[in-house]
Chains A and B, each alone.
Chain A
Amino acid sequence: MLNVLQSARKSRGLRWLLDNPLFTREVRRRMRSKVFSLSLVFYIILLGVITCLIMIPSYPMSYKVTPTRQLIQNIGSIGGNIFTGMIWLEVLLAVLVAPLLTSGVATAEKDRNTFDFLRVTTLSAGTFVTGCLLTTASLLLLVFSCTLPILGLTFIFGGVSMKEILTANVLIFSLGMALSSVGVLHSSGAGRSRGMRIASIVVLILLALMVIPDLLRMFFMGGRFGGSVSEVTWTQTVVMSCFLLGGMLGFSIAAARRLYEPNNRLFNYKQYTAFFILLVGAMVGMFTYNMSPLYQRDKPEGAGLDYVLVIYYFTGLFLVAFAMLLFLTGRLERGDELWRMRVHRPVFQRFDERLPLFVFYLVLWLGPVAYLVWRWDDDLSIRQHLIKSLPVTLLMLAVTYSLCRFVSLFTPMRNHAAITVILLLLVFWGLAPAVGFLFQEVSSNIGVEMSARLNRLGGYMIDISPFPALHGEWHGDALRHQPRNLYLMGGLALLLLLPTLMPSARARFRVSYELKPTDFEALKNESVLGVAK
């Protein structure tokens, strides 16, 4: 037999794409499957039926009773309506069907007892995830291609431009890919249990419900033809697609990492689920608040502000919690080693092995913030608020990060470290400003000199916390002593960070392996039979 071991090499270019075994297998299977062919036929028939239902009732009526100018407008509205119907179908497929298909990929391998076969090959987790995503991409492209002839009808009736069709398809494709990567992420971490799969489907549906209304609003609100066609610009399309595909990249990396190392902590399943539960909780909470009679009565200017505020706070706090989980101790857990060896660059290793994770989470958090900024582009004050409060939030994270590093110098126990960090954060950000306010209250009732000192001290105690600063900003006041707040928080972060950068301290952050290499030369003298009883 040929020595194929020597010949195995990484494939390049387009071949890399076609040499993906999962992609090839799925394409073969799909092309062979009768169910798939029938589904496609059914989809095309459905497209035809929907188009007829839209077209037939509007066209003859318009022809008979309306004057010519209005007739043209009505015919134009038929094109818009067909476009709306097609986009609806595509959105449903991209948001619901595509991620549900990918959410079972790895679990299906596990159910079939073939997952271990794949793991012992040189197939990387990245190739596995890429294969899943390529399969989804090909499915979406096929579905979009089926829709194109019907969308072509809109050009006969008018009312929809090529740009609108393209932007819609690009955005729906990006969204489908992003949500599919979430499906792969679920699948990669899930075992064989049905409960886990149901949980992942629930999260996907929640996610879809969060996304669909906004997406449809983007296309069908404020359009030129009474409910159809958006005014989404190319810039917005590119920005949104980049954000969605960036999210896909992040989720895919996390999925690839978790596929072969299910116990690692990068974007772990619980954190992820908690993230979305918090987000959904925030949205539901704000929706209820918005609908309440009290709020409706005293509705202030810029009604979306509180809505944004809650999402911002929730995601910000969640990021702090993430940071705490990640940076609590200097020791990586078992399951993190391979990732560290393959991916971390020396520059990060010299400082902190978790810095790339920090950056990753930050980017993940900045995504929704960027989305909020874009979404409320008609309200400049919200955009300004978000941008202005970014440095405060970043410093908030820096303090958390430094504090976690600092605390982990004294205890290797995660639980002890967690309690200490929470207590210290409560002291710095909760107790200190409370006492500060008290001092300022008291200062008004005592002598002038003492009062000034107490007042100043109280001010410092308040400004060491990010919350009073952010609160002032949200409520339209001048940001409370912003430079002092930034200096104090930055100083605190630096103060906590510096001791952890000392060489003796850094030694504590190195990973210690329980698995020690053995000197086999020394063992050669020992007979293996020596272990026999």
Chain B
Amino acid sequence: MIKTHGLRKVYGKLVAVDELNLEINEGDIFGFIGPNGAGKTTTIKMLATLLRPTEGYAEIGGYNVLSQPDDVRRLIGYMPDFFGVYDDMKVWEYLDFFAMAYKIEPERRPKLLDEVLELTDLTVKRDDYVESLSRGMKQRLCFAKTLIHDPKVLLLDEPASGLDPRARIEFRELLKELRRMGKTILISSHILTELSDFCNTIGIIEQGKLLVAGPVDVITEQLRGAMVVEVRLKDDPARAQAALEGHAGVTKVEADGDLLSVHLGTDHEDPAALMEFLMQQGIKVASFREVEADLEDIFLKITKGAVQ
């Protein structure tokens, strides 16, 4: 659904996005991860036809972003990280304004407005003025505006920034609902827990370069390398630590009270064998679990923390 090849954006001497190759399939939820200033917003703006790439090619739904911007705009819904609203309008008027901007027939607008308001849980605020809405509500209104023309692709640039925890959870549920509706979503964020829940593909960008991209599980598998096992002991953690450090395949053991973090090498054996080894040594184990690598681990492993 979204393809880019060699996409590049240069501002003077600054290379904001460098040779970006990306392919997002229909129905994918693509998490675009990167530190501040990595080039996420620039990429999204180029895809949203708001910025002209310096070089490269990008298409959405088979339409060239540069030469067929009108067709692309019909397909996409764009929500920026910072946005403004028309304060002196009512909620329904605001949505009607954008429905009109998308040239949606007047007869269809009322029904469409109701549907979008219901989806974003704003029905009760229909006749309220935009200026009277809270930040979270405004964010939802902006999202409702993004959905007004039923776009197939959503380009969301840090959509949940500035929301309280409850609003974030509600927003996440909304995105899940949209995933069920078959939308292709490109969502950028630097709050990784926000994305880990519902993204099936991710791309990590730093200093304008895409470091890695693909399905979350494939990347996790590729990048996890060493496994970490957490062992909580009933007694004598020092003896257990000494025993584990001498065990083949264990690269490092970190102790935190009665909790041991055991790092296994890349060619490690089955963790169950490690459990068996501990029991053979007469060490009493209260709990034993494999620590799963999450997006944060992957992000920290890949990025260098450099900012442009």
Interface residues of A (CB under 8 A from B): 1-5, 7-11, 15, 19-21, 24-25, 28-29, 32-33, 112-114, 116-123, 334-335, 337-338, 341, 514-518, 520, 523, 527-529, 531-533
In whole angstroms, what is the CA distance A123 to B83 when docked?
A: 18
Residue in B3, B74, B78, B145 whose beta carbon sits within 8 Å of that of A520 in the complex: B3
In whole angstroms, what is the CA distance A117 to B76 when docked?
A: 12
Please list 14 pairs of residues, one from A and one from B, whose beta carbons are closer than 8 Å in the complex, sorted by A's number: A1-B112, A2-B112, A4-B104, A5-B149, A8-B149, A112-B84, A112-B86, A113-B80, A116-B50, A122-B103, A123-B102, A528-B214, A529-B213, A533-B212
A114 B103 Cβ-Cβ under 8 A: no
B108 A117 Cβ-Cβ under 8 A: no
A117 B83 Cβ-Cβ under 8 A: yes
- CB < 8 Å A-B pair total: 154
Q: Which residues of B contact A32 (CB under 8 A)?
A: 88
In whole angstroms, what is the CA distance A37 to B80 when docked?
A: 35
A515 B66 Cβ-Cβ under 8 A: yes
Q: Which residues of A contact B21 (CB under 8 A)?
A: 523, 528, 531
B64 A517 Cβ-Cβ under 8 A: yes
Residue of B nearest to A113 (CB): B84
Indicate whether A21 sits within 8 Å of B214 (C-beta atoms), given known contacts A114-B86, A120-B76. no
Q: Which residues of A contact B121 (CB under 8 A)?
A: none
Shortest distance in angstroms between B289's beta carbon and chain A's nearest beta carbon? 29
A4 B112 Cβ-Cβ under 8 A: yes
Residue of B nearest to A334 (CB): B52
Stretch of B53-61, B189-197, B232-240, B249-257 at the chain-chain interface? B53-61
Query: Quick one: CB contact mask for B1-45 with A, threshold 8 Å, 1 for yes?
Result: 001011000000000000001110000000000000000000001
A25 B219 Cβ-Cβ under 8 A: no
Q: Which residues of A contact B133 (CB under 8 A)?
A: none
Q: Is the interface of A mostly helix, strand, loop or mixed?
A: loop
A2 B111 Cβ-Cβ under 8 A: yes
Shortest distance in angstroms between A525's beta carbon and chain B's nearest beta carbon? 12
Q: Which residues of A contact B218 (CB under 8 A)?
A: 529
B93 A117 Cβ-Cβ under 8 A: no
Q: Which residues of A contact B98 (CB under 8 A)?
A: 21, 117, 121
Indicate whether A122 sits within 8 Å of B70 (C-beta atoms), given known contacts A4-B112, A529-B214. yes
Q: B100 at interface (Cβ–Cβ under 8 A)? A: yes
Residue of B nearest to A520 (CB): B3
A11 B103 Cβ-Cβ under 8 A: yes
In whole angstroms, what is the CA distance A515 to B5 when docked?
A: 10
- Which 10 pairs between the two chains have the least Cβ-Cβ distance? A113-B84, A112-B84, A532-B212, A21-B100, A121-B101, A518-B5, A123-B101, A529-B214, A120-B78, A114-B84
B6 A518 Cβ-Cβ under 8 A: yes
B83 A532 Cβ-Cβ under 8 A: no
Q: Which residues of A contact B80 (CB under 8 A)?
A: 113, 116
Q: B165 at interface (Cβ–Cβ under 8 A)? A: no
Shortest distance in angstroms between A92's beta carbon and chain B's nearest beta carbon? 27
Indicate whether A122 sits within 8 Å of B150 (C-beta atoms), given known contacts A24-B97, A518-B6, A533-B211. no
